[in-house]
Structure 1
C-alpha cells in the first residue's frame, strides 16, 4: 500500500513516455541476445568463469593465466548490459503501475509489464546455469529461447499501451485466425531448430565447450525447411486475406514480416555457404529478433481490443464536476 502511494506521487506518464519504455523493452530484450551471440562467437563465454562473480573473489575481470583479458571484458560487458535490461524492466512496471492507479481497469497492462522483470530473474538463473555447466549447448539454447519469448511479450506490451482491454475482436475470419496461430507455431519451430544448429556449430562460446553430437548439415536443412514452412503459412495467410479483405495496417505489417523473413533466410543461407563466419552469426540473431517483432506486430494488428483509455490521466473530481 505504501509503495502504491509512492508510485502515485510520480507524474502521469505521457503517451510518448509509455511508448518509449515499451520500445526500450523490445530493444533491450532483443539486444541482449545479439550481445550474447558476440560473446559466443568470440569464444568469451567463460571469460568470467564463475557466477555471479566474474572470477572467484572479484565481481570484475582481473588478470588470469587461463583467460584472455579481452575475452573477460567481452563477457563482463554482456553482464553489465543486463543492468540496462533490469532498469528498463523496472521502468515498464513503474509506468504501467502509474497508469493503473489512474485507470484501475488496466490490470492486463500491469501484468504484461511484470513479465519483463520476471523474465530478467529467469534469465539470470539460466545464465548462471549456463556458466556453471560450462556452456552446455542446451543451456545456451534455453537462454536464447527465453529471450525470444520476452521479445514477443515486449511487443504485446507496446500494443497494450495503445489499446483497450476489451475482449479481443478479430479483424480476420476464423480461417485467418487459424493461419495466424499456425504462423506463430511455425516460428517457434524455426527458432527451436535454429538453436540445435547453433549447438552443433563451431561457435560454442569457448574452445573446450562440448557440442551437440549431430550432423550440422542435417540440422541446418531441417531449420531451413521449417523456415520454408513458415513462409508457406505466411503465403496462405496473404491469399486468404485477398479473398476476405484486410485493413491497410494488416497489409503493411504483412509486407514487413515478409521483408524481414526473406532477409533472415538470405543471411542464413549466406552464413551456411561461407562456413558460419562470426559476423553473420550475430546478424542472424538480430534477424531472428526482427522476425519475432514483425510476427508479433502482425498478430496484434489482427485483433481489436477497443480504444486506448489511458493515454491521459483520469480527470480529477473537480474537472469531472465542471464537465457535468
Structure 2
C-alpha cells in the first residue's frame, strides 16, 4: 500500500476543474450504462452473447453463429465494452481522491465515495453475469438496474464531496423538513422498484424466450404511477416547508429542477403506456429515471452544509475555498 501511495503522490494534484469533471463523468457513465442496457433489452439482444464473461464459449468476441444474429451480438457486446469505460472513469475518480487524501488526510469520506465507483463496477459485472447465466430472469434484470440507480446517487454525492468539506452536516431545513426529505427519497425508491416490476411484466424482456413476470401489467403500472404521485405530493409538501422557513437560492433552484424533471418523467411514462410501450420511449424513460435520481440527490446535497472544501489546492498552497451556500 505504501508503494502505491508513493506512486499516486507523483501524480499532479487535481485542479478543481479536473475534480468536478471526473465526478460529472462518473454520473454520466453510471447513468449511461443503464440507458445502453435498456437498448439491449428493447432490441432483444440480451442473450446476443449467451455466456459470461466470454461472449461465446472460447471467444471473448462475437462470432458467426446460426442461432444468434450478428447485430444482437454486437449490441450486447458493445454494452459490455462500455463497462470498461465506466471502470476507467471510476479508477480515475479513485486516483484523484487518493491524491487529495495524501495532502489532506481529513478527506477520508471523499475517498470512500470514490472507491464506491469501482466497487460498483465490479458488483455490476457480477450481477450482469448472473443475469445472463439465468437467462435474463426479470428479477435479475431488476437488480441490475436498481444497482445502477444506487451508483448514480453515490456519484452525485461524490461530485458534491469534491467541492465541500467533511464537517458534520448542518441541515438547512428544520426537523420536519428533514423528515419530508427522507420521505421523498423513500418514495423515489418505491417508484424505481415498482418500475422494475412493470418492466418485468412488459413486452421487452431482452430476449423473445425470456419468462416474464406473471402479473397484470395494468395493476403494476397503476402502483408505479401512484407511487410517483406520492413522490410529487411529498415534494409539494417540502416546497411549502421551504416557503415557511426560507431557503437558499441554490436550494430553490435544485427544488425547481426536481419538479421539472419529475413532471417530464411522469408525462413520458404516461405517453409510453398510452402508445403501447414503443422501444424508443423505453430508453428515454430509463434516461429520465437517472435524471430524477440526479435531481433528487442534488436537492438532498443542497439541503445540508458540510463546510468549505479544504482540498481545492495542495497542502501549503493558498486554497481557493468554494462551497455551495
TM-score by length of 1: 0.97
Q: What is the aligned partner in structure 1 of residue 33 from structure 2?
A: 32
Q: What is the aligned partner in structure 1 of residue 50 from structure 2?
A: 49
Q: What is the aligned partner in structure 1 of residue 64 from structure 2?
A: 63
Alpha-carbon offset, residue 55 of structure 1: 0.7
Q: Deviations over 1:89-140 (max 9, x none)?
A: 1001000000000000000000000000110110000000000000000000
Alpha-carbon offset, residue 13 of structure 1: 0.3
Q: What is the aligned partner in structure 2 of residue 234 from structure 1?
A: 235
C-alpha separation between the residues in 2 aligned to 1:249 and 1:47? 46
Aligned Cα root-mean-square deviation (Å): 0.7
Alpha-carbon offset, residue 194 of structure 1: 0.1
C-alpha separation between the residues in 2 aligned to 1:141 and 1:83? 21
Q: What is the aligned partner in structure 2 of residue 15 from structure 1?
A: 16
Alpha-carbon offset, residue 270 of structure 1: 0.3
Q: What is the aligned partner in structure 1 of residue 265 from structure 2?
A: 264
C-alpha separation between the residues in 1 aligned to 2:59 and 2:242? 58
C-alpha separation between the residues in 2 aligned to 1:311 and 1:271? 45
Count, aligned residues: 317
**5+ residue gaps, structure 1:** 320-324
C-alpha separation between the residues in 1 aligned to 2:6 and 2:164? 26
Alpha-carbon offset, residue 202 of structure 1: 0.1
Q: What is the aligned partner in structure 2 of residue 304 from structure 1?
A: 305
Q: Deviations over 1:218-251 (max 9, x none)?
A: 0000000000000000000001111111111000
C-alpha separation between the residues in 2 aligned to 1:151 and 1:191? 13
Q: What is the aligned partner in structure 1 of residue 162 from structure 2?
A: 161
Q: Deviations over 1:60-85 (max 9, x none)?
A: 00001111000000000000000000
Moved over 6 A (4+): none
C-alpha separation between the residues in 2 aligned to 1:136 and 1:45? 11
Q: Deviations over 1:146-178 (max 9, x none)?
A: 000000000000000000000000011111111
Task: Note the 1:241-260 alignment, pairs <5 A.
Answer: 241-260=242-261
C-alpha separation between the residues in 1 aligned to 2:234 and 2:196? 22
Alpha-carbon offset, residue 305 of structure 1: 0.2
Q: What is the aligned partner in structure 1 of residue 322 from structure 2?
A: none
C-alpha separation between the residues in 1 aligned to 2:113 and 2:264? 30
C-alpha separation between the residues in 1 aligned to 2:129 and 2:189? 24
C-alpha separation between the residues in 2 aligned to 1:105 and 1:250? 27
Q: What is the aligned partner in structure 2 of residue 116 from structure 1?
A: 117
Alpha-carbon offset, residue 297 of structure 1: 0.1
C-alpha separation between the residues in 2 aligned to 1:243 and 1:17? 39
Alpha-carbon offset, residue 199 of structure 1: 0.2
SS in 2 for 1:135: coil
Q: What is the aligned partner in structure 2 of residue 275 from structure 1?
A: 276
Q: What is the aligned partner in structure 1 of residue 321 from structure 2?
A: none
C-alpha separation between the residues in 2 aligned to 1:302 and 1:117? 27
C-alpha separation between the residues in 2 aligned to 1:201 and 1:71? 20
TM-score by length of 2: 0.97
**5+ residue gaps, structure 2:** 319-325
C-alpha separation between the residues in 2 aligned to 1:286 and 1:111? 27
C-alpha separation between the residues in 2 aligned to 1:281 and 1:272? 10
Alpha-carbon offset, residue 143 of structure 1: 0.2
Q: Deviations over 1:171-190 (max 9, x none)?
A: 11111111000000000000
